[in-house]
Amino acid sequence: MTLSFGTRLRSAMDERGPLCVGIDPHAALLDSWGLTDDIAGLERFTFTVVEALADSVAVFKPQSAFFERFGSRGIAVLEQAVAELRAAGGLVVMDAKRGDIGSTMAAYAETFLRKDSPLFSDALTVSPYLGYGSLKPAVDLARESGAGLFVLALTSNPEGSEVQRAVREDGRTIGATMLAHLAEENAGETPMGSFGAVVGATLGDLSSFDLDINGPLLAPGIGAQGATPADLPAVFGAAVGNVVPNVSRGVLRHGPDAAALRDSAHRYADEIRAAVGG
């Protein structure tokens, strides 16, 4: 029987530390590593990160767009990286932010959440802004495959508030509505559910939102975007134990030295564990 994503995530964070490392091979980062912005640079960057961190970091979040921009050869690098990360015991959250309706949403789900897919990932980021119900094909396939979803709820980009903090006729914001849907998905699951929210660590006081969804909260913004591990309890309150803090540039800027990448990731994991009391 396949263990649920929530179960596997809890175990990975308890064992390796509550840290997600983003894998974002954009042109400026490749250049800072002394690499060319082409498939050779992409390969060198990606597999240096995999070799340095795959056996010690709990969660990885490759940004699909930075691989897609190189076409089929970039996707091949992403496929291999996903396979190697998972083989080493890391969990992969594919950051693709897919969102559509009907058969198209089902096709996106099959790409990343069907167990025999070359890009099968432990979880997928999705956008619910065609209505939460539009995600049903992904929710259903994630349950079947033992995978998870991270739904955009309260994102760290300034533009997000015009949608996510808009107020519905019932007086509840759109972001709060998404959190409530996720709480329903996760009801009764132990140690936590598999359907999480993306909630920015840079947003400050979120006490007006019920973040206790019995599921993971993927929290971008630690490091280069300005948030620190010490900020997490104030932002997430009682739900801080289920936070999956994401660090990208804060770790990746230490490459291409593999030892420096490892040291940075381990330092962040230790600081986060101390901050959240885990």
Q: Which residues are catalytic?
A: 97
- First CA to last CA distance, the chain: 28
Per-residue burial over 117-146, b if 16 or more Cβ lie within 10 Å, else e, is eebbbbbbbbbbeeebebbebbbebbbebb
Residue 200 backbone class (left: φ over 0; alpha: ψ -120 to 50; beta: rest)? beta
What six digits make up the tokens of 3? 């263990």
Contact 99, 130 (CB under 8 A): yes
What tokens were used for 234?
A: 């104030």
Beta carbons of 123 and 146 less than 8 angstroms apart = no
Pairing label, strands 195-199, 217-219: parallel
Q: Report residue 165 CA to chain centroid gap.
A: 22
The Cα-based distances of 46 to 55, 92, 125, 218, 263 in angstroms read 15, 14, 20, 22, 18
Q: Shortest CA distance to 155 belongs to which of 167, 168, 165, 169?
A: 165
